[in-house]
């Protein structure tokens, strides 16, 4: 066994009460670290996943039309009317789609033709968002297949896929017919081939998927696509990717982050406050370790003098106390990991939504444990630095003489 380990372990065992105190403090600190991180990251992951369950990472649209007054020497325009919004296709969307598909970081892209419409069956009529899609590529952008509650996610001929709420509102199921018509009066009858639940009531009530070609006809944009929906591999890179797409295509591209600005601000504030709490906890742990080891150095001054007189080097004395700090950090991280995980799991079990389902899973990953252990050991070692240096500087003759 290494000499420094032998002495450090013995000193920790010898100072039972002090060791228990400082170990207790470190354990609580690590437990809080693990609990908070698991909770916040689980919550955030769930929130982002829920948000993105019915949303592409980047939405590419035709640029907005801007009205400009014609220059005229004898007239001054005091008012410029905004161009009325109507469904417009992205020009040459096939080339745009191919170009976006080659961007590094893009996983999949799909064209959609979307516009307002009414869905009706018998006397029941609902205002809906008509979404003409290519089911195969669409499923690669939004993971809708596992969220089908009945039927299948496929569109052949005049078929439509609707949400659970709309299915209930209209009283239809798989195999039933639904009439979809635009406000301009173009309409068609579709057979429901599937019903989805994307975890968002609004989406489940309003989205009606039909084949791209059918939507193009109903929305009067023959061969057109109003949006290109893009999935990227790194979701928090979506904003940068949107900028890249705009630069490359000249089209308007919005990331999910842009479209959910408030959610993102909320997540960031949550992360910041969680960080602040964790930094304060680590600081408290560091101060605890430093003060207990500081007292230990004072109590052991004479012993340190004896160790030096009997051939222990200054470096070895310093390493003994640094090791004590690191060992406390290491042991505290193991105990803290057990308690923190227990707290997180218990919280996840106890905290349930109105339906009795767990609110969100906690994120207990190996990375979290390794990170917490690294922080605890590093904190222990750094906190021990001052007491260790003080111990190393003790003059043996003085402490032997005066204690």
Partner 1 sequence: MGEAGADVLRLEGITRDFGEGEARSRVLRGVDFSLRRGEFAALMGPSGSWKSTLLHLMGLLDKPTGGRVLLDGQDTGTLDDDGLTRCRGRTLGFVFQFHHLLPGFTALENVLIPMAADEGRIEPSMRERARALLDRVGLASRAGARATTLSGGQAQRVAIARSLAMAPKIVLADEPTGNLDTQAADEVFSLLRDVNRDQRVTFLVVTHDRRLAERTDRIVELVDGRIVSDLPNEAR
Please, what is the minimum distance in Å from the beta carbon of residue 354 to partner 1?
59
Least distance in angstroms from the C-beta of 387 to partner 1: 18
Q: Which is nearer to partner 1, 121 or 308 (CB)?
A: 308
Opening angle at CA 365, ends 362 and 366, nearest 5: 155
Q: How many CB atoms lie within 10 A of CB 157?
A: 10
Q: Using CA atoms, how far apart are residues 249 and 32, in angstroms rounded to an integer? A: 48
* Identity of the residue, 92 or 314, whose beta carbon is nearer to partner 1 in the bound complex: 314
Closer residue to partner 1 in complex, CB, 199/315: 315
216 and 237 in contact (C-beta within 8 Å)? no
Q: Which residues of 216-240 are buried (b: 16+ CB within 10 A; e: fewer)?
A: bbbbebeebbbbbbbbbeebebbbe
242/317 with CB nearer partner 1: 317
| Cα distance between residue 353 and residue 358, in whole Å | 6
Q: Which residues bind partner 1 (CB under 8 A)?
A: 1-4, 6, 10-11, 13-14, 302-303, 306-316, 395-397, 400-401
Min dist. Cβ of residue 323 to partner 1 (A): 13
Find the shortest distance in angstroms from Cβ 294 to partner 1.
Answer: 19
Q: Which residues have C-beta within 8 Å of that of residue 221, sequence separation ≥ 6?
A: 87, 88, 89, 113
Pick 22 or 394: Cβ nearer partner 1: 394
Cα distance between residue 156 and residue 350, in whole Å: 45
Closer residue to partner 1, CB minimum distance, 284 or 306: 306
How far apart are CB 297 and partner 1 at their closest, in Å? Answer: 15
Angle at 140 between CA 223 and CA 256, to 5 degrees: 85
C-alpha–C-alpha distance, residues 48 and 234, integer Å: 13
Nearest distance, CB of residue 384 and partner 1, angstroms: 19
Q: Which is nearer to partner 1, 150 or 312 (CB)?
A: 312
**Whole-number minimum distance, CB 45 to partner 1, in Å?**
47
* Nearer to partner 1 (CB atom), residue 285 or residue 317: 317
Give the integer Cα–Cα distance in Å for 140 and 111.
12
Relative to beta strand 124-133, strand 207-211 is: parallel
Q: Provide the minimum distance between the beta carbon of 391 and partner 1 in the complex, in angstroms, as a whole number.
A: 14
CB of 382 to partner 1, least distance (A): 24
Taking phi over 0 as left and psi of -120 to 50 as alpha, with beta for the rest, 199 belongs to left
> Which CB atom, from 257 or from 399, has the smaller least distance to partner 1?
399
Instruction: State the chain's maximal CA–CA distance in angstroms.
Output: 105
Pairing of strands 187-196, 124-133: unpaired
366-393 and 314-350 helices cross at what angle (nearest 10)?
Answer: 150
């Amino acid at each position: 066994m290494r000499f420094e380990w032998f002495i450090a372990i013995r000193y920790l065992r010898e100072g039972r009460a002090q060791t228990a105190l400082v170990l207790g403090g470190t354990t609580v600190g690590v437990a809080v670290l693990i609990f908070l991180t698991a909770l916040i990251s689980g919550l955030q992951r769930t929130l982002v996943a829920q948000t993105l369950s019915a949303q592409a990472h980047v939405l590419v649209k035709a640029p907005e039309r801007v009205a400009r007054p014609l220059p005229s020497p004898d007239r001054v325009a005091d008012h410029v009317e905004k161009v009325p919004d109507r469904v417009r296709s992205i020009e040459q969307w096939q080339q745009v789609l191919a170009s976006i598909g080659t961007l590094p970081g893009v996983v999949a892209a799909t064209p959609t033709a979307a516009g307002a419409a009414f869905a009706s069956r018998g006397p029941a009529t609902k205002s809906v968002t008509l979404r003409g899609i290519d089911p195969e590529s669409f499923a690669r952008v939004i993971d809708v297949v596992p969220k089908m509650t009945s039927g299948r996610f496929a569109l052949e001929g005049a078929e439509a896929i609707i949400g659970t709420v709309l299915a209930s509102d209209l009283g239809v199921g798989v195999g039933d017919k639904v009439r979809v018509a635009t406000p301009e009066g173009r309409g068609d009858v579709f057979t429901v081939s599937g019903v989805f639940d994307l975890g968002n009531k609004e989406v489940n009530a309003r989205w009606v998927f039909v084949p791209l070609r059918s939507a193009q006809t109903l929305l009067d944009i023959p061969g057109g696509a109003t949006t290109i929906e893009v999935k990227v591999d790194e979701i928090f890179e979506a904003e940068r990717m949107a900028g890249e797409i705009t630069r490359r295509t000249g089209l308007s591209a919005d990331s999910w982050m842009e479209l959910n600005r408030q959610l993102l601000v909320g997540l960031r504030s949550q992360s910041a406050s969680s960080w602040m709490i964790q930094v304060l906890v680590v600081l408290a742990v560091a101060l605890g370790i430093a003060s207990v080891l500081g007292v230990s150095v004072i109590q052991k001054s004479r012993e340190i003098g004896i160790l030096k007189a009997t051939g222990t080097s200054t470096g070895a004395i310093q390493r003994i106390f640094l090791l004590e700090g690191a060992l406390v950090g290491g042991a505290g991280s193991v105990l803290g990991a057990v308690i923190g995980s227990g707290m997180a799991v218990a919280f996840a079990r106890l905290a349930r939504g109105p339906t009795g389902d767990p609110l969100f899973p906690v994120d207990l990953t190996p990375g979290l444990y390794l990170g917490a252990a690294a922080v605890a050991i590093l904190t222990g070692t750094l906190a021990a630095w001052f007491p260790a240096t003080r111990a190393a500087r003790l003059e043996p003759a003085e402490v032997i003489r005066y204690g």
